Amino acid sequence: MYIEGRARIGRYGNSFLNPHAKVSRDISVAAALSILRGRKSSKLLDSTAATGIRGIRYALEAGAKEVTLLEINETAYKDAVRNVKSNNADVTLFNESIQGFANRTSEHFDIIDLDPFGSAAPNIFDLLKVSRDGTYLFVTSTDTAVLCGASAMACKRIYDSVPMHNEFCKEVGMRILIGYVAKTAFQFGFGISPVLSLSYMHYMRSLIRLDHGVANVHGSMSEMGYAHFCESCMFRSCEKGYLPKLFRCPSCGGAMRTAGRMWCGNLKNNGFIDGMLGENGWLSGESLDALERIRKEADLPLYYSIPHMTKKLAIGSVSPNEVSECLKLKGWEVSGTHFEDSALRTDADSRTVAGCIKRIRGRMDKGRRGKLIIS
């Protein structure tokens, strides 16, 4: 028996349950609770139920009035049925594919959760059929190697986007995932607004609001673009637009690597996260820490990995905290990032960040030489 939140889950057959996804489920329940609070009616779809744990938690903890679970695997479906009964959860289950359900139902949902094994991409189109104005899509992809550029051809094929295999590939991967949702949503007349994006262990997850209307679509289209990176001087930027226009590094004149198309807009909405943090009475410490880290994170693309920069500069390591203080003293906006503990987000350019790193390292080396002389 596995206990999580108010759910008690038995694993009777071969259905998959990942205890390490608890943070994702905690945060999702807090988000659903914040979205649905006060609504007289609400419909929630867990489209990849497995053992049923996520849908059961939505029913027991998030206040969803109508919860529907889909599970295509017959063995997992039987496990989910047993778990629903043992938890006395008021949910409806179907042993059916997402495609089959979306093509036969006339229902539309307020929240749709998609947490597959592998890529979310094959199911986005069908889930948009059961979406409406104001629907929230909670989308996970676990094919992080593809999104992070380990297999560029697979990323092009699945997401219609060129990835970037470097130190900030996780952020680029997240933006490619959101960009894929956006490109598909445009076909249905929806604009998108990511309210929370989480990169954790082996998965990427984004909570995205859909808003219907031409103005919303055009607004979201203007947030699509490309990520650029110069391997010579470490310049990086997000360029919004339908076609890339930046081919030479504006800092050193070198050739640049380009990834995209992808989402270049905000990855989160702090007002939304504040609402979630207001539902923190039952969140685990790890889940609460993750939310608070994302809340404090500046929404500035693309982050700087300080260890990668020191390696590129061929100098010894420095503290990211000291680099942060150096940049703040110069008047730049700086924060950490949940994508990588030793990375910083800032509106300073790569030369300024490198300058702070060199200055700090120089002080450290001078201090060491001084101690050697004294001794």
Q: Is the pLDDT of residue 277 over 60?
A: yes
Packing angle, helices 270-277 and 285-296, rounded to 10: 160
DSSP codes, 275-288: HHHTTGGG--HHHH
Domain boundary residue among 271, 296, 321?
A: 296
Domain boundary residue among 296, 316, 344?
A: 296
Residues 339 and 194 in one domain: no
> pLDDT tens digits, residue range 86-102?
999 999 999 999 999 99
| Residues of the domain holding 49 | 2-296
> pLDDT tens digits, residue range 361-373?
999 988 765 543 3
d(CA 220, CA 288): 30
Return the half-sphere exposure (C-beta side, CA atoms, 13 A cut-off) of residue 198. Answer: 28
Rounded to 5°, angle at Cα 151 from 148 and 152: 85
Residues 164 and 212 in one domain: yes
Residues 315 and 233 in one domain: no
Stretch 186-204: mean pLDDT, rounded? 96
Q: How confident is the model at residue 375 (pLDDT cuts 50, 70, 90)?
A: very low
Residues 26 and 88 in one domain: yes
Q: Is the pLDDT of residue 10 over 50?
A: yes
Residue 319's CATH number: 3.30.56.70
Q: Tell me the CA distances in angstroms from 99 to 53, 187, 247, 313, 372, one per residue in order.
A: 22, 17, 41, 51, 70
Residues 316 and 286 in one domain: no
Domain boundary residue among 296, 331, 358?
A: 296
Q: What is the pLDDT of residue 258?
A: 97
Q: Kindly state the percentage of the chain with pLDDT values over 70.
A: 96
Residue 135's nearest CA partner among 196, 211, 32, 40 is: 211
Stretch 4-33: mean pLDDT, rounded? 89
Stretch 303-313: mean pLDDT, rounded? 97
Packing angle, helices 22-36 and 285-296, rounded to 10: 70
pTM exceeds 0.75: yes
Residues 264 and 191 in one domain: yes
Q: Is the pLDDT of residue 174 over 70?
A: yes
> pLDDT tens digits, residue range 138-172?
999 999 999 999 999 999 999 999 999 999 999 99
Q: How confident is the model at residue 279 (pLDDT cuts 50, 70, 90)?
A: low
Q: What is the pLDDT of residue 374?
A: 34
Q: How confident is the model at residue 18 (pLDDT cuts 50, 70, 90)?
A: confident
d(CA 261, CA 105): 33
